[in-house]
Amino acid sequence: MGIVVQKFGGTSVADAVKIRKAAQRAIDAAKKGNNVVVVASARGKQTDHLIADAMELNSNPPRREMDQLLSTGEQQTVSLMAIAMHGMGQKAVSMTGGQIGMRTDSVFSKARIQSIDAKKIHAEFDKGNIVIVAGFQGIDENGNTTTLGRGGSDTSAVALAAALKADVCEIYTDVDGIYTADPRVYKKAIKMKQISYDEILELASLGAGVMHGRSIEFGKKYDVTIHVRSSLVDIEGTLITHEVPQMEGILVSGATSQKNLAKIGLIGVENTPGTAAKIFAHLAGAKVSVNDIIQTEVSKEKANLSFTVGNSDLLDAKTAIEELKSSIKYDKIFIREDIAEISVVGVGMRSHYGVANKMFDALAKAKVNIDSITTSEIRISCIVDEDQAETALIAVCDAFELDKPAEKRSK
């Protein structure tokens, strides 16, 4: 007998029909002899509605009260799901984050999980219950309700799977798995059978929007097999696992295009020890989250420095740089908002050459100009003009044959 954690996102529990369908999946897994934990998100757009309700009353609501409020969205879902299961003849019990002992720190709205009391869940298994846990929430040492950040139910589910040493953490969603690229742009994209934690972490940070980034970090740390699959149709989705040897043979697993970006460049910035430290300390102080940084020396005295930020951080970044005017010398500042970042990701890059040139060649053939390039061990990213983002992504996907299953690509 195994332990299965099943997480249902907001769209998969949006109404009574869907809640019943989700409940049936959990019941089926229990009938196969498994102990089952269901983790559920708030129904549909409930979290957004609750935020709107709060904003109508106070545009700067206390964070503690927001967590107290937002946690109720998930609590509605789990009790409704338990009610549904009882109606379907299945023993089930719903629990809040606090009730299952999901202990977090006290950073409201982005709390981090510290520990989970697996004994409470085992006690419910012993009574024959499916345990339905409210995702996205926990409790701090003073008994305050906390939340884990938007999309945090994924992290609740993977953390529970880790604590229970579950066989699998199934993430049920409205897509049937993870695709080699966004199928809305690259129509020929196909579903991946398997992908590594490291690759999905790169893809998530690049805006692929598949899962809450921290849930993958949890999965990697505690070795939880994650299965992203459809709540509508009963087909295999995509497995997120540790790297396995055959992944090395795949040059590129996926490609992304990210648009909501801006690039800030400082031309001719003084080339002395401590300049970059000062700039990025100041940006960090302004809570600007910086993506790719490029610096090159142009002479003994001067360097060019540029970095990208999300559009939502651009204003803060601009202000922060302006504040440095008196303490840091530079010739010119330029800002580009009309950019997109095209990236390819694959653990196979570690052991193969020629990936970068294949990407650049594909962009050249598609007449896409590359503004700048950054790389990590398993990723290559090019900044291109925003209005060429689609052309660029399609060209790169075609070059790496992301329309074919990994084993059928010519390499």
What element of type H or E holds 38?
Answer: strand 35-40
47 binds, among Mg ion, ligand ASP, none (CB under 5 to 8 A by kind): ligand ASP
Task: Report which DSSP code applies to 53.
Answer: H
- The site partner of 177 among ligand ASP, Mg ion, none (C-beta below 5 to 8 Å per kind) is none
In one-letter notation, the amino acid at residue 259 is K
Alpha-carbon gap, residue 279 to 275, rounded angstroms: 6
Task: Sort strands 226-230 and 194-196 into parallel, antiparallel or unpaired.
Answer: unpaired
Q: Which of residues 94-153 bind Mg ion (CB under 5 A)?
A: 151
Min CB(157)–ligand ASP separation in Å: 9
Of 47 and 253, nearer to ligand ASP (C-beta) is 47
Q: Which residue is nearest to ligand ASP (CB)?
A: 153
Nearest approach in angstroms of CB 46 to ligand ASP is 7
Site string for Mg ion, 149-178 (x = CB under 5 A): --x---------------------------
Q: How far is the CB of 150 from ligand ASP (least distance, A)?
A: 4
At residue 320, φ and ψ (nearest 5 deg) are -60, -40
CB of 7 vs ligand ASP, minimal distance in Å:
9
Q: Give the DSSP letter string of 125-142.
A: HHTTPEEEEETTEEE-TT
Q: Taking Cα atoms as reference points, which of 271, 361, 372, 285 lies closest to residue 321? A: 285
Residue 254 interacts with, from ligand ASP, Mg ion, none (CB under 5-8 Å by kind): none
* Paired tokens of 37: 């934990």
Question: Which residues is 37 bridged to in the sheet?
Answer: 5, 131
- Please identify, using beta-carbon distances, which residue of 158 and 247 lies nearer to ligand ASP: 158
Contacts with ligand ASP, residue ranges (CB under 6 A): 9-10, 41-42, 47, 73, 135-136, 150-153
- The window from 2-10, 63-71, 231-239, 245-253 that contacts Mg ion (CB under 5 A) reads 2-10
Three-state SS at 351:
coil
Q: How many residues bind Mg ion (CB under 5 A)?
A: 2
DSSP at 254: E
Compute the least distance from the CB of residue 202 to ligand ASP, in Å: 21
The answer to whether residues 249 and 196 touch, using CB atoms and an 8 Å cutoff, is no
257 binds, among Mg ion, ligand ASP, none (CB under 5 to 8 A by kind): none
Report the nearest approach of ligand ASP to the CB of residue 61 (Å): 16
Our measurement of the distance from residue 79's CA atom to the centroid of its chain's CA atoms, rounded to an integer in Å, reads: 27
Least distance in Å: CB of 43 to ligand ASP? 9
Sheet strands (E) in 298-363: 302-310, 332-345
Are the C-beta atoms of residues 347 and 197 closer than 8 Å to each other?
no
Q: Which is nearer to Mg ion, 156 or 194 (CB)?
A: 156
**Which positions lie near Mg ion, rule CB under 5 A?**
9, 151
